[in-house]
């Protein structure tokens, strides 16, 4: 059993077999750590991460449909929760969770005008009106096509 | 709230990963304007750019440090002068050193000097597309041969290319992996032979429509690494050629022999026999009788993914053999095949053959039973073509809606049995992207409403000659199908200005065909032009009641227009001059039978646009009326004139 400690000093005891889905934790376990402090992950996020890892630890064929349903529901969170998860999953190197989170967040900012995206990310516009005009003009002279997916390497 | 907290959580690395899932244009543009960090992330991430005006390329490209792919095919008239400006007259800009892929399709104004300048300036260039530069010949090929790193060259329709030019390319670009010579009709066996000797890395070759003989296939058979061979319409090649291929080309995976009249079933069978790991066979319109040997040969093709036999008479043995042996088949083409029956379809799809793409165009013997079998077995079907399958009714559509939720493309052109109820059932296929309902006389606005309400992903909708569709239907479509890009409303005579105005609510509409809509006037066209900023292709043939006010609006607002058909319209001299003169991206114009335009009007309009025009269609009698000067100018600038 491995003990994880969140930034709020809450402790969680979890089986090693579940936690090795996290690359970071796996490395620490291989170095014989049994107590792992996670100062950049708060309790709420850590609980969710553990929930995810528990569900994905058992990957037999019959459970695959269940796992897909779980993943779909798991993504139904507020954007702030998703951001917190992305940061934590990145820190903990849980690639499967990240691959789920990226398109989910991308979906939330599709089909939105610039101002809406600013509100979602709580960002203030730091362009001067002149700079903004410049970017809009540039957009006009070029029609951005879709990305070429690495076919030339 | 300050930008600092969230952006510190979401560092640029993570932003880039999220951004890679946003490929839709308008989304990317909105993203760029959010703040400086987002702009930087987008600029760094962008690798491909499609430019509309050549003058600003250098400033623009300096903002995107990772661009390695450039598409200039939409630029009105790239010519040698523009290229000189681009590559900085000697001082190579950074992007030239990075460029790997360049698209110059339809750049008819470019000559060999300009092309050579470009090739020499971009040492890392791996892929170039000069298709449809119809005047390109051996000099341009010589320019291309300076591209020593070139791996992918597309030269479709470079009509001037001969064996001499091809030889230069073969010798200069020995790393060549993909080459397309479709329609370069001056190429002969000699050119292909040299190609096979020099370019040993070739993986994909397209020699469609060339006048080559079986000797070319003898040369091709020595290409050890060749995986894809396309030889559509090579009418001179005969069975001897297939025999050579059968004994050679060890890596061959995909073969297209469509429309090769002289090939027999046994020769193709021989080839199949020698290549049991074939993945794709395209043999449409080759066989006038049932290709028995080929069908039997399919027994050995355990990995076959694609089989296209359009136009061949078939029998049930075909379906039995496929079902039993070709377990990995995902695409089948039976368009215009005689002998496709319900029973045959049952045999094809029973036992869980999971087809994704089925072309059953003109298989008019099929009934709802066949579609029922398909819907039941092929739950992940993506594309279904049922044009002219007249016995298909709402029952089939019910089953498709029930079982085939992944369906993206459905062609029901001329299916008499499709009605509003059927569309109601079909609307359960919410992932539909392309829906063709041309000539479906029994559908009305009511049916369209269901589709519009549920199928929000639709990008292409064909309602050609659907007499029952009117303004209400368009209102529904413009509210529900916000991603619509291509729409055909030709001959839907009930449509009036009100319907066309609704189209203004479709932000992505780029291709609109609205022939012969006699109830549409200048008011409707004005509303369309003002709001549909992305309109690039517009067909207004026979819309006799649109007056100049509409065309003036078009000339003023529709800046993105590239292709227009104004034949039989009531446009005047002034209107035509404004349209041709003001629309700086217009490259293709059909101007047949403009009764209100005088000869002088044509002269002025053509002169105003001769710099950018690449294709123009005029009535034959104009040939005598226009001054030779303007015709010569147009030709000199690379414009192609078609006389109707």
Q: For residue B261, what are its two tokens?
A: 């009249």
* B389: Cα within 13 Å, side-chain hemisphere: 31
User: What's the predicted TM-score (pTM) here?
Assistant: 0.82
CB B511 within 8 A of CB B485: yes
Whether residues B34 and A121 touch (CB distance < 8 A) is answered with yes
Helix (H) or strand (E) holding B97, with range, is: helix B94-98
A132 touches chain B (CB under 8 A): yes
Q: Which residues contact B1 (CB under 8 A, 6 or more apart)?
A: A122, A123, A124
- Ordered alpha helix ranges (H), B145-210: 163-172, 189-198
Instruction: Retrieve residue B359's tokens.
Output: 């072309």
Q: Are strands A2-5 and B409-411 parallel, antiparallel or unpaired?
A: unpaired
The rounded distance, in Å, linking the Cα atoms of B108 and B504 is 34
Please give the order of strands across the beta sheet that includes A35-37.
A11-14, A2-5, A35-37
Mutate one of B2, B9, B75 to test the A interface: name it (highest A CB count within 10 A): B9
Using the 8-state DSSP alphabet, how is residue B137 labeled?
B
Burial B157-182 (b: 16+ CB within 10 A, else e): bbebbbbebbbbbbebbeebbbbbbb
Q: What is the pLDDT of residue B582?
A: 92
Mutation to test the A interface, candidates B12, B14, B58, most A Cβ within 10 Å: B14
Instruction: Read off φ and ψ for residue B461, nearest 5 degrees.
Output: -135, 125
Residue A143 main-chain phi, psi, to 5 deg: -105, 105
Question: Sign (positive/negative) of CA torsion B577, B583, B589, B592?
Answer: negative
A39-79 pLDDT per residue, tens:
888 899 899 998 888 888 876 656 777 788 888 888 888 88
pLDDT at A150 over 60: no
Taken in order B81, B83, B86, B91, is the CA torsion positive or negative?
Answer: negative
- Whole-number Å distance between alpha carbons of B69 and B46: 10
Contacts A117 to B, Cβ<8 Å:
30-31, 34, 38
Distance from C-alpha of B491 to C-alpha of B468, rounded to nearest angstrom: 11
Tokens, residue A56: 């994905």
Q: From CA B323, how far away is CA A101, in angstroms rounded?
A: 40
C-alpha to C-alpha distances, B632 to B109, B158, B498, B577, B628, nearest whole angstrom: 14, 21, 44, 19, 6
Orientation angle between helical segments B548-557 and B522-531, nearest 10 degrees = 10
Nearest beta carbon to residue A124 from set B2, B9, B18: B2
Beta strand A2-5 with A11-14: parallel, antiparallel or unpaired? antiparallel
Is the complex ipTM more than 0.85?
no
Q: Are β-strands B331-333 and A11-14 bridged in parallel, bridged antiparallel, or unpaired?
A: unpaired
Q: How many Å is the Cα radius of gyration of chain B?
A: 27
**pLDDT tens for each residue of B33-74:** 888 888 888 888 788 888 877 777 777 788 788 889 998 887
Answer yes or no: do B21 and A103 touch at CB < 8 A.
Answer: yes
**The predicted structure's pLDDT at residue B569:** 94
Q: Do A152 and B68 touch (CB under 8 A)?
A: yes
Shortest CA gap A1–chain B (Å) = 30
Across the A/B interface, how many CB contacts are shorter than 8 Å?
A: 128
Residue A140 confidence (pLDDT): 65
User: Which of B5, B22, B36 faces A110 most closely, judged by CB atoms?
Assistant: B22
Helix axes A64-74, A43-57, angle to 10 degrees: 160
Residues of chain B with pLDDT under 70: 1-10, 89-90, 352
Best mutation target among B34, B124, B481 (most A Cβ atoms within 10 Å) is: B34
The residue of B19, B33, B585 whose CB has the most chain A CBs within 10 angstroms, and thus the best one to mutate to test that interface, is: B33
The residue to which tokens 């013997």 are assigned: B365
Contact across the interface for B21 and A102, Cβ inside 8 Å: yes
Any CB–CB contact under 8 A between A90 and chain B? yes
- Shortest distance, CA B75 to any CA of chain A (angstroms): 10
Mark yes or no for CB contact A87/B33 under 8 Å: no
Contact A110 B27 (CB under 8 A): yes
CB B303 within 8 A of CB B278: yes
Dist. CA A152–CA A136, nearest whole Å: 30
Amino acid B65: pLDDT: 82
State the average pLDDT for chain A: 81
CB B110 within 8 A of CB B642: no
3-state DSSP helix/strand/coil % of chain B, to nearest 5: 40, 10, 50
Q: Do B33 and A124 touch (CB under 8 A)?
A: no
Token duo for residue B568: 């039989």
Q: What DSSP designation does A61 have? A: G
Q: In this complex, do A145 and B49 lie within 8 Å of one another by their Cβ atoms? A: yes
Distance (Å) from the alpha carbon of B519 to chain A's nearest alpha carbon: 34
Q: Cα–Cα distance between B160 and B183 in angstroms, integer?
A: 10
Rounded to a whole number, what is the distance in Å from the CA of B448 to chain A's nearest CA?
24
CB B180 within 8 A of CB B131: yes
- H-assigned helices in B156-234: 163-172, 189-198, 214-220
SS3 assignment for B241-287: HHHHHHHCCCCCCEEECCCCCCCCHHHHHHHHHHCCCCCEEECCCCC
Q: Which residue of B has its CA nearest to A84?
A: B9
Q: Compute how many other C-beta atoms are within 10 angstroms of the C-beta atom of residue A78.
A: 9
pLDDT of res. A60: 65
* Cα separation, B386 vs B357, whole angstroms: 11
Interface test with B, best of A95, A103, A147, A151 (most B CBs within 10 A): A147
Q: Are A135 and B64 in contact (CB under 8 A)?
A: no
- Cβ contact B1–A122 (<8 Å): yes
- Pick A87's closest partner by Cβ from B9, B29, B126: B9
């Amino acid at each position: 059993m491995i003990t994880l400690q969140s930034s709020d000093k809450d402790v969680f005891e979890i089986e090693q077999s579940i936690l090795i889905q996290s690359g970071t934790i796996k490395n620490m376990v291989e170095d014989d750590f049994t107590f792992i402090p996670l100062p950049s992950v708060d309790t709420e996020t850590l609980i969710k991460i553990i929930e995810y890892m528990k569900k994905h630890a058992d990957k037999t064929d019959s459970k695959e449909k269940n796992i897909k349903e779980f993943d779909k529901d798991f993504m139904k969170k507020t954007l702030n929760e998703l951001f917190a998860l992305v940061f934590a999953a990145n820190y903990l190197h849980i690639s499967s969770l990240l691959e789920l989170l990226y398109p989910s967040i991308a979906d939330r900012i599709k089909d939105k005008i610039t101002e809406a995206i600013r509100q979602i990310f709580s960002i203030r516009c730091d362009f001067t009106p002149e700079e903004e005009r410049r970017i809009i003009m540039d957009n006009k002279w070029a029609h951005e096509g879709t990305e070429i997916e690495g076919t030339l390497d | 709230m300050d930008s600092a907290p969230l952006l510190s959580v979401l560092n640029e690395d993570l932003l880039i990963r999220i951004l890679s899932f946003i490929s839709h244009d308008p989304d990317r543009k909105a993203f760029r304007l959010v703040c400086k960090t987002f702009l930087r992330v987008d600029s760094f991430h962008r690798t491909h750019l499609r430019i509309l005006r050549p003058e600003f390329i250098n400033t623009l490209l300096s903002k995107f440090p990772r661009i390695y792919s450039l598409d200039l095919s939409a630029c009105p008239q790239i010519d040698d002068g523009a290229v000189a400006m681009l590559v900085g007259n000697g001082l190579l800009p950074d992007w030239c050193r990075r460029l790997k892929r360049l698209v110059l399709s339809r750049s008819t104004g470019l000559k060999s000097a300009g092309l050579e300048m470009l090739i020499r300036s971009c040492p890392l260039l791996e892929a170039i597309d000069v298709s449809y530069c119809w005047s390109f010949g051996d000099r341009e090929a010589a320019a291309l041969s300076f591209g020593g790193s070139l791996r992918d060259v597309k030269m479709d329709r470079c009509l001037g290319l001969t064996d001499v030019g091809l030889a230069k390319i073969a010798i200069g670009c020995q790393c060549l992996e993909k080459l397309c010579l479709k329609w370069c009709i001056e190429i002969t066996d000699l050119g292909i032979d040299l190609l096979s000797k020099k370019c040993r890395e070739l993986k994909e070759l397209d020699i469609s429509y060339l006048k080559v003989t079986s000797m070319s296939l003898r040369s091709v058979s020595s290409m050890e690494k060749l995986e894809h061979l396309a030889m559509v319409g090579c009418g001179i090649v005969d069975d001897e050629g297939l025999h050579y291929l059968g004994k050679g080309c060890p890596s061959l995976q995909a073969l297209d022999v469509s429309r090769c009249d002289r090939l027999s079933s046994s020769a193709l069978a021989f080839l199949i026999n020698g290549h049991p790991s074939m993945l794709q066979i395209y043999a449409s319109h080759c066989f006038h009788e049932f290709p028995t040997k080929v069908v039997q040969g399919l027994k050995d093709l355990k990995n076959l993914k694609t089989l296209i036999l359009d136009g061949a008479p078939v029998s049930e043995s075909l379906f039995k053999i496929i079902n039993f042996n070709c377990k990995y088949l995902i695409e089948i083409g039976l368009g215009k095949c005689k002998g496709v029956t319900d029973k045959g379809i049952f045999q094809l799809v029973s036992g869980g053959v999971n087809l994704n793409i089925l072309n059953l165009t003109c298989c008019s013997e099929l009934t709802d039973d066949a579609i029922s079998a398909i819907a039941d077995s092929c739950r992940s079907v993506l594309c279904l073509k049922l044009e002219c399958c007249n016995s298909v009714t709402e029952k089939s559509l019910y089953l498709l809606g029930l079982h085939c939720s992944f369906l993206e493309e459905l062609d029901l052109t001329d299916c008499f049995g499709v009605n509003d109820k059927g569309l109601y059932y079909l609307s359960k296929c919410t992932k539909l992207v392309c829906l063709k309902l041309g000539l479906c006389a029994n559908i009305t606005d009511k049916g369209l409403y269901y589709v519009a309400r549920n199928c929000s992903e639709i990008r292409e909708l064909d309602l050609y000659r659907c007499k029952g569709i009117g303004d209400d239907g368009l209102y529904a479509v413009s509210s529900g199908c916000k991603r619509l890009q291509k729409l055909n409303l030709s001959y839907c005579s009930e449509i009036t200005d009100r319907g066309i105005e609704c189209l203004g609510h479709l932000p992505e509409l780029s291709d609109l065909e609205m022939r012969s809509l006699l109830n549409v006037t200048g008011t409707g066209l004005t509303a369309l032009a003002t709001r549909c900023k992305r309109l690039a292709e517009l067909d207004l043939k026979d819309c006799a009641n649109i007056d100049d006010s509409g065309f003036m609006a078009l000339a003023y607002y529709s800046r993105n227009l590239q292709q227009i058909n104004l034949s039989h319209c009531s446009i005047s001299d002034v209107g035509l001059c404004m349209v041709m003169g003001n629309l700086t991206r217009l490259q293709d114009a059909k101007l047949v039978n403009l009764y209100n335009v005088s000869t002088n009007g044509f002269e002025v309009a053509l002169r105003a646009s001769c710099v950018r025009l690449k294709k123009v269609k005029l009535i034959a009698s104009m040939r005598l009326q226009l001054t030779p000067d303007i015709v010569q100018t147009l030709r000199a600038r690379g414009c192609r004139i078609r006389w109707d």
